[in-house]
Structure 1
Amino acid sequence: MNNKNKGILLILISSLFGAITLTLIKLGGNIPVYEKSFLRNVCTIMISFYALKKANDNAFGKKGSRKILILRAICGTLSVWTSYYAISHMIIANATVLTKLSPIITIVFASIFLKERIKNIHIVAFIIAFVGVIFVVNPTGGHYDILPSLMAIGSAFLAAGVATCLRFLRGKESANTIVFFYAFVSMISSVPLMLIHFKIPTISEFLILLLSGLSSTVTQFSITKAYKYAKASEISIYNYSSIIFITILGYLVWGTIPSEGSFLGYILIVIGAIIIFLIKNKE
């Protein structure tokens, strides 16, 4: 198996375990999102700390990178909180698709903060994806509150912020440092809110949330390894396989089937992402 195929396989594994993580988070019951985030990060911190020490990497990064590491951690934490709220209050497949707008939004952020040029074809991709969002959210359908949809879209914006930070940190910090720093900041920032809104989980909820932490750790490390084997421009589009996985899991666990309009929205959002992917790949 060549390196590109290894990268694709790892991206698919990451997408599958990402879908499993979200399913477990939704199964975690009415536990506050901060508490879910805390329990998820416990596993990530332990495993990433072991990897950090084994590779002899700096846990808190270089002085020149620390501000961006902090910004990445804050954006990542808020992205997780908003996405957890969204999947807890709407069809999980719809929430997942809306968070997948982040690669398209990243182009805008890269233009603003990294001075990368936006082309006309980018604008076409934005418009197609925006129409897809309208179909998924269906603001006039009355199927659910608009707030969870806005939270999912907000999560996509925050995830785009994460991607922009990671592009800046590329070559400056190791993956072990980035993963550990994020998990550490995310867990610490969850504590005050978790204590205010603390709810004692049942044994089953506690075990489910710990499993979500293990699943999330597999997701993070598999996607990190994937980009070591192949360029993002070659394999990132396979991240969208998570839409298939989460739709299947949503049907198997809750028996939910997205509407025809939602499926059309999925297609349009993915088309927008494919256009961005092809442009980046060509470049």
Structure 2
Amino acid sequence: MKITNIKILKGIGLMLLAMTIVPFLDIFAKLLSQEGYHVTQVTWTRFFFHAVWLLPMIMWQKVRLFSIPEKPGLQFLRGLMLTLATLFFFAAIVTNDIPEALTLLFISPLVVAVLSPFILGERFDIFIGAGVLIGFIGVIVVLQPDSEQFDPTLLFALVAGVCYALYIIITKKLSFRAPPVLTLFYSAVVGIVIMTLIVVPYWTTPDLKGVLMGAAMGFFAAASHFMIIKAFEFASASELSPFNYFEIVVAIILSYLVFGVLPNVQAILGLIIIILSGLYVSWRAMKNNQDQENKQDALIEPL
């Protein structure tokens, strides 16, 4: 087997492992909510322990911790969008099933496709537009707005998807020179600062069980994000993006094992529509960007 193929397989393996771990974060967030902790405190706890678990990695890699990051304004905005995405998603899963909320979070590639031409200067054509439209039809299928089963709190997951899309766009806009683990730490610190300003009125002193579940939640957050970064060292975004959706498979299994719930037929249909449209839109956008780069290269005269 070629070395290139081995590297890609390593990247895919790391991505699948990360997507297996991420749903545990959501499981513990929902369990903490069921223990009576307010969603703001659950969100604060997620970022606090995320930062705590990253400290050993930072020391192991001998990264300089106290340094001014490149483009601090955008770094803060990036952390803010991740914080809001987490807060709204956790708010959605308080009263809704995790797979259902996670399905709506997956609108982020569609939102990225719509906003990228205005923010990043990327191309947007009729094929991408059609894919986005089909994806939002899947959103309507999941939400079931005309039925008695519609829960307005599920809209929090849509807001989370938009915030996460902005997080992705800002990440693309930033050209990081800092070590990835330090960038993750910056995001966690921003989350701690923002949530500390909000959480005080809702704070409940946690017992030992709450502390242990919070520590576990932060561990799964830090470990999964670190594995995602490592995966991109071995494979490209186009090679890894299809495997992001493995997260929903694990989420469905864990939700059934822990909470005894399974998504209904309509939710599964909406999930399939959103996933297929998201994959198509991502593929089309990457193809357009590649064509644009090739045209620019063709205009450069050889020396």
Q: Tell me the TM-score range normalised by the shorter chain.
A: over 0.9
Return the index of the structure with the highest Cα Rg: 2
Q: In structure 1, what is the Cα distance between the partners aligned to 2:274 and 2:20?
A: 19
> Would the alpha carbon gap of residues 182 and 14 (structure 1) be closer, same or farther in structure 2, given more than 3 Å must change?
same
Report if aligned partners of 2:15, 2:231 keep a CA contact under 8 Å in 1: yes
- The aligned residue for residue 65 of structure 1 is 71
RMSD (Å) for aligned C-alpha atoms? 1.8
Which letter does structure 2 place at the counterpart of 1:178? Answer: T
- The aligned residue for residue 258 of structure 1 is 263
- The aligned residue for residue 99 of structure 1 is 105
Q: In structure 2, what is the Cα distance between the partners aligned to 1:62 and 1:249?
A: 40
CA displacement 1:179-203 (0-9 Å, x = unmatched): 0111011012111322111123343
Q: In structure 2, what is the Cα distance between the partners aligned to 1:210 and 1:50?
A: 14
Q: How many residues align?
A: 282
Report if aligned partners of 2:29, 2:90 keep a CA contact under 8 Å in 1: yes
> Would the alpha carbon gap of residues 255 and 132 (structure 1) be closer, same or farther in structure 2, given more than 3 Å must change?
same
- The aligned residue for residue 52 of structure 2 is 46
Pairing 1:159-174 to 2, within 5 Å after superposition: 159-174=164-179
Any gaps of 5 or more consecutive residues in structure 1?
none
Post-superposition offset of 1:20:
1.0
Which letter does structure 1 place at the counterpart of 2:165? Answer: A
- The aligned residue for residue 9 of structure 2 is 5
Pairing 1:125-274 to 2, within 5 Å after superposition: 125-146=131-152, 148-274=153-279
Post-superposition offset of 1:209:
1.9
Greater shift, 81-90 or 249-258, is seen at: 249-258
TM-score (norm 2): 0.87
- The aligned residue for residue 76 of structure 1 is 82
Any gaps of 5 or more consecutive residues in structure 2?
291-303
- The aligned residue for residue 25 of structure 2 is 21
Greater shift, 199-208 or 240-249, is seen at: 199-208
Greater shift, 193-202 or 104-113, is seen at: 193-202
Task: Determine helix, strand or coil for the equivalent of 1:228.
Answer: coil
> Would the alpha carbon gap of residues 180 and 165 (structure 1) be closer, same or farther in structure 2, given more than 3 Å must change?
same
> Would the alpha carbon gap of residues 247 and 21 (structure 1) be closer, same or farther in structure 2, given more than 3 Å must change?
same
Post-superposition offset of 1:205:
2.8
Post-superposition offset of 1:63:
5.8
Which letter does structure 2 place at the counterpart of 1:214? Answer: F
Report if aligned partners of 2:14, 2:231 keep a CA contact under 8 Å in 1: yes
Task: Determine helix, strand or coil for the equivalent of 1:229.
Answer: coil
CA displacement 1:25-45 (0-9 Å, x = unmatched): 111123112211222223321
Report if aligned partners of 2:14, 2:227 keep a CA contact under 8 Å in 1: yes
Task: Determine helix, strand or coil for the equivalent of 2:71.
Answer: helix
CA displacement 1:68-90 (0-9 Å, x = unmatched): 10110110101100000011111
TM-score (norm 1): 0.93
Q: In structure 2, what is the Cα distance between the partners aligned to 1:129 and 1:158?
A: 17
Post-superposition offset of 1:61:
6.1
Report if aligned partners of 2:69, 2:75 keep a CA contact under 8 Å in 1: no
Q: In structure 1, what is the Cα distance between the partners aligned to 2:115 and 2:132?
A: 13
> Would the alpha carbon gap of residues 234 and 198 (structure 1) be closer, same or farther in structure 2, given more than 3 Å must change?
same
Which letter does structure 2 place at the counterpart of 1:25? Answer: A
- Taking only the aligned residue pairs, the percentage that are identical comes to 24
Q: In structure 1, what is the Cα distance between the partners aligned to 2:45 and 2:183?
A: 19
- Please state if 1:108 is matched with 2:118: no
